[in-house]
Amino acid sequence: MLSLFTETLLKYFFLTTPFFALSMFLAMTPELNTAERGRLANRVIAAAWIITITLFMFGQLIFRVFGISVDAFRIGAGALLFLSAVSLMNPKVKPVEREDGDDIAVVPLAMPVIIGPATCGPLLVLGADIGDWASRGVAVLAMTASLAALWMILRVGAWIEQRLGKKGLAILMRLTGLILSALSAQMIMTGVVAFLSASR
């Protein structure tokens, strides 16, 4: 159980692309003070947690309803994750114009910035792979811990940017992209091997 917790925590932490999320968070809130950014971070992570748990818990049901095999979906999700990893190698974060009063906590910060298409796929696969409720509980705790870590990063985002600078954040985003590319390759290869074994 400890290995499942650690593996899920680290994997999901990088799937949420924390440093890209931080850059977008800062770019979209230049007019907010520290307290206002803190309150926004609370809402963003709460929304991301609800979306995460919903996708994870209903993964098996979605595959049954649409008649999609987990292995086929694993290959497609891995390919999409690879594209996301490539985009992080040349990150482009621009200030986003928004009207006064717009609530950006759920859209676009929680989804699709933190939980985008490339994150949804692995979440659904993880939900389908883990069948027993004890392991599901451990996975939920691990994902909650990873989102808590992201919450802390958003809360002290301005301080991190001051210490690292935009170039430092860009380097961390590229490192995240490398890790995601490795995860995507593993997903694709696992799906291909399982699919070929089942077709024999």
pLDDT tens digits for 4-42? 999 999 999 999 999 999 999 999 998 899 999 999 999
* Average pLDDT of the segment spanning 143-162: 96
Please give the model's pTM, rounded to 2 decimal places.
Answer: 0.91
Length of the chain: 200
Question: What span, in angstroms and rounded, lies between the C-alpha atoms of 146 and 155?
Answer: 14
Domain boundaries, the chain: 2-199
Q: Among 60-64, 71-75, 139-143, which stretch is predicted with the lowest mean pLDDT?
A: 60-64
Question: What span, in angstroms and rounded, lies between the C-alpha atoms of 190 and 28?
Answer: 38
Tokens of 48: 């991301």
53-62: buried (b, 16+ CB within 10 Å) or exposed (e) per residue? bebbeebbee
Close Cβ partners of 61 (under 8 Å, ≥ 6 residues apart): none
pLDDT tens digits for 65-83? 888 888 889 999 999 999 9
What is the chain's alpha carbon radius of gyration, rounded to the nearest angstrom? Answer: 17
Question: What span, in angstroms and rounded, lies between the C-alpha atoms of 166 and 24?
Answer: 12
